Amino acid sequence: MSGIAKTPEPPYYAVIFSSQRTKGNKGYGIMADKMVELASQQKGFLGVESARDEGLGITVSYWDSLESIKDWKENSAHRVAQDKGKTEWYKNFSLRVCKVERHNFFGM
């Protein structure tokens, strides 16, 4: 998961997950990699971008529809990760779902 996601022409949806972690890894890195792999196999998945520093992590996943986002939220393996996030990995987090109506790219 590196670089800028290649998304189609709008409209599509972005799920913005911002978080602050607890101390220690506690299996977080392995689960995060598994979730990206699993999400990329889901119907409607368009791409993902993620960045984390010492205090804040932001992951943006892109989807073709609200239904695809709902299906991902309800995925059984993803639900396990969500539960562990609430009990072990995150001090706090925010989840936002947005409709992308316009995008511009620049690249050399």
pLDDT of residue 55: 85
Contacts of 71 (CB under 8 A, 6+ apart): 42, 43, 44
Ranges of residues in the chain whose predicted pLDDT is under 50? none
pLDDT of residue 17: 97
pLDDT of residue 1: 52
Note the pTM of the prediction, 2 decimals.
Answer: 0.92
Model pLDDT for residues 76-96, shown as the tens digit of each residue: 999 999 999 999 999 999 999
Q: How far apart are CA 71 and CA 93, in angstroms?
A: 20
